[in-house]
Structures are given as structure tokens and as C-alpha cells.
């Protein structure tokens, strides 16, 4: 299920395009039916790995509904990273990579957007 994995080519392009300033990462996820507990186990496992690289979650929550558009996402998480290199190091960390089966079990779909931090 590669659609839920960070692929090396887009990651390398992002790091080159964004430079090395602080960034904000916004994750939209759609859960598999009845997989809230699996997603929570994934989040609990990701937290310590994220902290290794200075990632700071600033918001996480469940959707109340869609105002514009047709696509539905169950949850969103917004995380601040000190640099694109920190994001790169996080998503290539062997402990994070090893969590892929848990992520795949919990998620039906996901979209990740990256923005320059103010």
C-alpha cells in the first residue's frame, strides 16, 4: 500500500524546493471502518519518534464535517518541524518506517501537505 508511505523522490524534491527553514505539515486521514483504536496505537508509537527530531504537534482532531468540497477526512494533525531535514530524518527513521503495517491497518487514505512556517 504505497499510497500511505512517504516515497523518496517526492521527499527529496520537497527538501530541495523548501530549503532548510521551519515547516508546518498538515496530515488529513480517512480511517478504515472501526479502526480508531489501531490509529491511536499508531499515534502513540509515532509520538516518541517525532520528538527525536523536534517535531511539535500543534493540533490534532476529528472532523465535524465538510463545508466546501466533497472529500471527507476523519482526522487532521498539524505538526511543526524545525527544518525540512528534521522531517526527512523523521520519515526515514527505521522505527518510523517499521510502523507502516500499523498505519496501513488503520488508514483508508491520507493526504499530507507541507507549508513554510511563518
SS (H, E, C) 34-89: CCHHHHHHHHHHHHHHHHHCCCEEEEEEECCCCCCCCCCCCEEEEEEECCHHHHHH
Q: What is the pTM of this model?
A: 0.88
Predicted confidence at residue 2, as pLDDT, reads: 46
CATH of 2-64+71-116, picked from 3.40.50.1220, 3.90.1200.10, 3.30.70.100, 3.50.50.60, is 3.30.70.100
Predicted confidence at residue 15, as pLDDT, reads: 73
C-alpha cell at 7: 516515497
pLDDT tens digits in sequence order for the chain, 118 residues long: 446 666 667 777 777 787 778 999 999 999 999 999 999 999 999 999 999 999 999 999 999 999 999 999 999 999 999 999 999 899 999 999 999 999 999 999 999 999 999 8
Q: Any idea where the domains of the chain sit in the sequence? A: 2-64+71-116
Predicted confidence at residue 3, as pLDDT, reads: 66
Amino acid at each position: 500500500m504505497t499510497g500511505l508511505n512517504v516515497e523518496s523522490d517526492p521527499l527529496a524534491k520537497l527538501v530541495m524546493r523548501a530549503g532548510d527553514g521551519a515547516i508546518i505539515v498538515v496530515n488529513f486521514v480517512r480511517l478504515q471502518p472501526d479502526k480508531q483504536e489501531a490509529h491511536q496505537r499508531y499515534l502513540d508509537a509515532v509520538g516518541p519518534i517525532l520528538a527525536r527530531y523536534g517535531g511539535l504537534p500543534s493540533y490534532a482532531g476529528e472532523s465535524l464535517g465538510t463545508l466546501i468540497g466533497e472529500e471527507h477526512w476523519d482526522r487532521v494533525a498539524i505538526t511543526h518541524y524545525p527544518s525540512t531535514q528534521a522531517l526527512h530524518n523523521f520519515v526515514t527513521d527505521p522505527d518510523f518506517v517499521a510502523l507502516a503495517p500499523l498505519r496501513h491497518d488503520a488508514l483508508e487514505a491520507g493526504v499530507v501537505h507541507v507549508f513554510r512556517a511563518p
